[in-house]
Structure 1
Amino acid sequence: MKKILFLVNWEVKKIPDNKSNFLQSSNYLINGEKYWFFKRWPDKNIEVDVVDFFKIPFFHEIEKKILRFYILQTLKVVPFLNKYDLIMSHGGQSAIFLAFIRSFLGIKDPPHIIIDVGALNGGRNSQPELKIFQFALRSVSGIIYHVKAQKKHYDIHFPFLAARSYYVPFGVDEQYFKPKEYSHENYILSIGYKNRDWETLIAAFSRIKTDTVLKIVGPKKLKIRLEPNICVKPYVPIKLLKELIAKAKFIVIPLVNLPYAHGQMTLLQSMAMGKAVIVTNTASSVDYVKDGEDAILVKRNDVQDMKNKIEFLLNNPDLAIRIGENARKSIQNKFTEKHMAEGIYEAIKKLEI
């Protein structure tokens, strides 16, 4: 039996069951069941302990917003590391402090893998920060990443890890996110809690003469003038969000351009539900879609192109349906949790762990 310690940088709820479907698979753990994509792990002879962040009011905000890594989570697991065959950290926030301690002490066993969703340090080139990361990551056995553009960051700043880094596409639960039998209502939907180009989307939509409503879910506050047919909700539960996706004519995801993974979870979830998606052409989206086939790409920061693409789909509802059907097939063929689990498993095998 291989024992894995899995550190995540979000809250995981321990629940007796998920019959009400109020949580997606990465956000809950049922006693006696494997967690998240480990349910699809090719080797069934594993035991996975999941540790999320250790939340103390005020100090947690310091960890999250100022330090950008979790100290208490690391301190909680350090005494027990030797009982595991493998450590996996999801995101730099849950990885870097542990890696720093192990590098300082010269410890490399058990091996430590990072599933890197933020180019380790956000892809920044600040030398003082990079020096710390370069030292810390000497104890790390390998990197798994979901956006091909991140490889350049490793090649330049972490060459000792570049040969031990593997691209594995992100995957979603295509059974939890699947098409629903709802009639389309007269709105399009945009979703995102951060790293969204709301200015371009709102400016573009405001220029369109239509009675269709733009519903935006995610931002707490927008300092932008909104037309009467634009409404904003700061947060909705995942069950309601799925209903909103299902009833929308199509989805728009306006991304800012960052050199690391962001937005593809929302993109893939919407595609899995059989929706046409207009998404900004960035490093985070191009690995996952074929323009005009299973999604529509829009130029970065281009109000006119965004306006044209939205108008095009509004005027061609049959095409939106066809693109949505193709999107669902793309998820089933390439971007499920099973595909992701198998990819991570194969990457770990290549690392000879």
Structure 2
Amino acid sequence: MQWIVATPFSRDEDGDWITRYVGGGARFVTAPALYVHDRSRAASGLSEWFDYLRHAWGAWRLVRAAPRGGAGLLTGFPQLAVTAALLKLLLGRSDVPLVAWCFNLGRTPGGWKARLARAVLRQVDVFVVHSRREVALYAAWLNLPRERFVFVPLSIRDEPRETREDEAAPFILAMGSANRDYRTLVEAAARLGLPTVIVAGTHATAGLSLPPNVTMRRNLAIAECHDLCGRARVNVVPLRDTAFTSGQVTVLEAMMLGKPVVATRAAGTEDYVIDGWNGHLVPPEDSGALAAAIAALWDDPATRARLGEGARRTVQEGTTFAAVAPAMAAVLDAAQARAARAPRPAARADASERPSG
């Protein structure tokens, strides 16, 4: 089957993603994203939703150009899942398998938004989530069977490089904006008195009073973030709401560089950070426990090296694009099988199927 790929980071056919490593009979065609997806913003506005809808429509045009039964749709991030599912409903194409990869919400709204989500997202054949807790959470919210939700580890492009800790001026590093609990981190940093760098958007740190040992940085390029991560003595991912996933990219990119992570125990960290093997997990909103975990790593280079080795192996063996490709292949097969069981749409030829002349 031919799969039309619509993700905000897809620009052309040469992009390196999981699809490159999926074998078998699956073929992939990219519906290019013609906009910039800012993952640091707190919410999507009207103009952003228009971008997602236009992108989803471009993907559906490719689906409709294929022979009936010959194409499916693979989206990335919830916004494209919603817009693609809406178009599937309006087009009456229950025969087209739709996979929502990286279905990760920051919250599950109620009221009319929940009713709309349930009506539209029933069109998704398989939801791929990146924490085990999300399976029950989203199944209950959308009133759908749990088997429609599949846990697959979040994957990242494996870009290992030699890193060297800044021994002359060591520091603690925390990066990211989504769902971050920087208040608890600042309390822990004030207690420790150790140099600490926070890289985050303004909405993630609003209202914080910073002690002299905490520095704020913003608007850094990815390469600059990776450089800071490699030079930091301790990388920290403090999270606020433990029910929703966030912080996995930051966790995995630090692990990719062989750096252990101190993170809040939450959905989105407990599936990747194994306490004492590749990092440490601490209770939420506990500045004392966070400070103790940071101090333990700060003063123990041997433990940092051992946990860093475990962190690197975690990425190599379980969260690279190649490592998760077999799971993606199974998801696509499941979606195709479910769509094949769906009621056939009413006899109506698409433009691509009408006889010419």
Smaller-chain TM-score range? 0.7 to 0.9
Equivalents in 1 of 2:32, 2:282: separation in Å? Answer: 38
What do the CA deviations read for 1:113-156 (whole angstroms, capped 9, x no partner)?
A: 1114324xx44251322221111123222111111111112332
Q: 1:291 aligns with which of 270, 275, 282?
A: 275
Equivalents in 1 of 2:154, 2:146: separation in Å? Answer: 19
| Aligned residues of 1:69 and 1:93 also touching (Cα < 8 A) | no
Q: 1:37 aligns with which of 18, 40, 56?
A: 18
Equivalents in 2 of 1:157, 1:222: separation in Å? Answer: 30
Check 1:258–1:304 CA distance in 2 against 1; reply closer, same or farther (3 A cut).
closer
1:54-93 alignment runs, 5 A limit: 54=35, 61-64=45-48, 70-84=52-66, 85-93=71-79
Equivalents in 2 of 1:97, 1:350: separation in Å? Answer: 21
Equivalents in 2 of 1:306, 1:114: separation in Å? Answer: 35
Equivalents in 2 of 1:50, 1:179: separation in Å? Answer: 35
The AA in structure 2 aligned to 1:93 is Q
The AA in structure 2 aligned to 1:52 is A
| Aligned residues of 2:17 and 2:157 also touching (Cα < 8 A) | no
**Residue of structure 2 in register with 1:228 after alignment:** 212
Of 138-147 and 244-253, more deviation after overlay is shown by 138-147
* TM-score, scaled to structure 1: 0.83
**Residue of structure 2 in register with 1:202 after alignment:** 186
Q: 2:309 aligns with which of 294, 314, 325?
A: 325
Check 1:47–1:348 CA distance in 2 against 1; reply closer, same or farther (3 A cut).
closer
What do the CA deviations read for 1:21-80 (whole angstroms, capped 9, x no partner)?
A: xxxxxxxx4x6x354222222337623213326479xxx84244xx69833323444433
Larger radius of gyration: 2
Check 1:283–1:40 CA distance in 2 against 1; reply closer, same or farther (3 A cut).
same
* TM-score, scaled to structure 2: 0.82
| Aligned residues of 2:57 and 2:87 also touching (Cα < 8 A) | no
- CA shift for structure 1 position 179: 4.0
Check 1:178–1:42 CA distance in 2 against 1; reply closer, same or farther (3 A cut).
farther
**Residue of structure 2 in register with 1:4 after alignment:** 3
Check 1:306–1:337 CA distance in 2 against 1; reply closer, same or farther (3 A cut).
same
- Count residues with an aligned counterpart: 324
Structure 2 unaligned residues grouped into runs of 5+:
38-43, 338-357
**Residue of structure 1 in register with 2:300 after alignment:** 316
**Residue of structure 2 in register with 1:100 after alignment:** 86
- SS of residue matched to 1:52: coil
**Residue of structure 1 in register with 2:290 after alignment:** 306
Equivalents in 1 of 2:282, 2:266: separation in Å? Answer: 9
| Aligned residues of 1:177 and 1:269 also touching (Cα < 8 A) | no
The AA in structure 2 aligned to 1:115 is W
Equivalents in 1 of 2:152, 2:295: separation in Å? Answer: 34
- CA shift for structure 1 position 159: 4.2
| Aligned residues of 1:54 and 1:72 also touching (Cα < 8 A) | no
Check 1:72–1:276 CA distance in 2 against 1; reply closer, same or farther (3 A cut).
same
1:144-163 alignment runs, 5 A limit: 144-163=128-147
**CA RMSD of superposed structures (Å):** 2.5
| Aligned residues of 2:5 and 2:59 also touching (Cα < 8 A) | no
- CA shift for structure 1 position 258: 4.4
What do the CA deviations read for 1:202-246 (whole angstroms, capped 9, x no partner)?
A: 11101113xx42111122354222222211111211112211111
Equivalents in 2 of 1:116, 1:244: separation in Å? Answer: 27
Equivalents in 1 of 2:186, 2:50: separation in Å? Answer: 31
Equivalents in 1 of 2:302, 2:322: separation in Å? Answer: 31
The AA in structure 2 aligned to 1:40 is Y
Q: 1:51 aligns with which of 32, 40, 46?
A: 32
Equivalents in 1 of 2:52, 2:130: separation in Å? Answer: 22
| Aligned residues of 1:108 and 1:140 also touching (Cα < 8 A) | no
Equivalents in 2 of 1:99, 1:274: separation in Å? Answer: 39
**Residue of structure 1 in register with 2:348 after alignment:** none
Equivalents in 2 of 1:277, 1:227: separation in Å? Answer: 23
